[in-house]
Structure 1
Amino acid sequence: MPIREISVGRYEQEVTHPGALKAALAEFFCTLIFVFAGEGSGMAFNKLTDDGSSTPAGVVAAALAHAFGLFVAVSVGANISGGHVNPAVTFGAFIGGNITLLRGLLYWVAQLLGSVVACLLLKIATGGMTTSAFSLSSGVTVWNAFVFEIVMTFGLVYTVYATAIDPKKGSIGTIAPIAIGFIVGANILAGGAFDGGSMNPAVSFGPAVVSWTWTNHWVYWAGPLIGGGLAGLVYEFFFISSTHEQLPTVDY
């Protein structure tokens, strides 16, 4: 049962140990790379098309940018931190007993800081252009968006479990970054026109901080965390045996 594997962890091993700090630094840079590419693509499309990021072409461009960016971010972080790049993925891994609470919180701090720094760099590099916070489209309620975020993030974290965490994954683990990038791109095509298709509290947090826009921001935390946690429970309970394998981390 996944709940039996949940662990707080030891502070000196999960927070202050050089290996833990190295993993957190990797999460910081991976998230920075991902958010810079994803958020930057939307800003570039707005500049080129006079605020056309919400058009069908804009949604497709966002899906491609996020899919490619996440593929790279997960690939470069996989051997150091596991390449979470997302607090919801980290939470899903924790619920399934694949990462300790203290290590997870360390990852969260790194991921959120990476997103904020990416958005600040975008604002500086573009001469002050707005890093738009995630928002709901016209006619979409917060509960519509809440369901979208739960379902989309469930699909994302389920994919992470199947391709990167499951100890029985075999050689399919080599295509994990591709599969993870693809599911994010596909989900943005499905939900991007409704609530932006976040699936990632860090991705929503950076633009919200830099633009200081917090309208309905809770949706982009609650939905992904619930979806990610459910995916961790479902996959661990139904598909992973009692033999447990940790997410790839740096060797101590």
Structure 2
Amino acid sequence: MMNATMPNYGKRRSNSGRNSRRHCYISADFCRSIVGECLCTFFFMIIVCGVDLNWNNSDDVVSEQMPDTLRIAITLGFAVTTLIQCFEHISGAHMNPAVTMSMMIMQHTGVAKGLLYMVAQTLGASLAVVLMHGFLPISIQGSMGFPVWSDKVSPHQALGVESTLTFILVFTILASQDPRRHLAGLVALPVGVAFLTNTLWAYEFTGASMNPVRTLPSAVLISNNDKTWLYIFEIYLLGPFLGSLAASIIYKYIFDPNTGSSIRSGNSTFFDCDDHMVDMVGLQTISSHANESSA
């Protein structure tokens, strides 16, 4: 009798255990997004290495500096636009750990997924650099995507340039994804134009990297550079992350209406009222004057 009336706690625990285990799995979409991010960054670095090839076999490119800059900017701008259009619905097409960090700050991407994205981006970029280095003749290989900052600017100035470049790029991404925009789904074109513009004005300063995995794999695996490693990490690793962090915080806490538009106390909102509240205040003022005149 007792066994018939007592609840079966053991069975409940086993069922709940099975249910919890049933929900602890990695979905196919999650795996596809990781693979897509790796593949997207791989193709981006293939284009970065390809546009940097030295087909003229000449070190004197001063006379062709502006055409080369224009060609690189247009190529990479269109490459970013195309890859975002192809992979945005799969992984978001970050192609950049600094962009992934921004998506984590904005809570568009989870921490675990964001860290896996960074690993996938590093793997894809490294494979592209190694592949291009192995298949291309040594005589035409340039820096394989490794940007070199100008001797006319100090490393700290180069850090500021890379931070500014990444700020503009990340802010453009966040603004393009804002659901308040009429064309919120149109991300590829403005981000590609921002990348092109940044490359045009800053290529002579730092090579306009804006992306740690664009720079570090080629610096570690391939390029024989004579720069100090401390400055390389300062400019091309710290710079993009600082710019992304600043853009994310400013957009999230100043321009995002869900987090930073007003100061709330309970159900009331200060410094912010809609049209209905303004009309109610106006009606109350009119009615009070009417009562005073009738009295």
**What TM-score comes out, normalization by structure 1 length?**
0.83
Cα contact 1:59–1:192 (8 A) shared by 2: yes
Cα contact 2:165–2:243 (8 A) shared by 1: yes
Larger radius of gyration: 2
Residue in structure 2 matching 1:48, options 31, 50, 56: 56
- The reply to whether residue 92 of structure 1 matches residue 107 of structure 2 is no
Shift of 1:14: 10
Unaligned runs of 5+ in 2: 1-21, 260-295
Equivalent position of 1:229 in the other structure = 245
Q: CA deviation digits over 1:104-126, x for unaligned, max 9?
A: 11000111111111111211231
Cα contact 1:42–1:58 (8 A) shared by 2: no
Counterpart code for 1:171: L
Counterpart code for 2:151: S
Cα contact 1:158–1:232 (8 A) shared by 2: yes
Return the alpha-carbon distance in structure 2 between the equivalents of residues 239 and 98 of structure 1: 16
Return the alpha-carbon distance in structure 1 between the equivalents of residues 173 and 216 of structure 2: 22
Percent identity of equivalent pairs: 27
Return the alpha-carbon distance in structure 1 between the equivalents of residues 93 and 222 of structure 2: 27
Q: CA deviation digits over 1:118-154, x for unaligned, max 9?
A: 1112112312435252222122211111000111100
Unaligned runs of 5+ in 1: 1-11, 244-252
Equivalent position of 2:185 in the other structure = 173
Secondary structure at the counterpart of residue 47 of structure 1:
coil
The alignment's C-alpha RMSD in Å is: 2.3
- Paired residues in the alignment total 228
Shift of 1:15: 9.5
1:233 and 1:132, CA in 2 relative to 1: closer, same or farther beyond 3 A?
Answer: closer
Considering Cα pairs closer than 8 Å and 6+ residues apart, tell me whether 1 or 2 has the greater RCO.
Answer: 1
**What TM-score comes out, normalization by structure 2 length?**
0.71
The within-5 A match list for 1:202-217 is: 202-211=213-222, 213=225, 215=229, 216-217=231-232
Return the alpha-carbon distance in structure 1 between the equivalents of residues 167 and 87 of structure 2: 21
Shift of 1:22: 1.2
Shift of 1:99: 1.3
Equivalent position of 1:143 in the other structure = 156
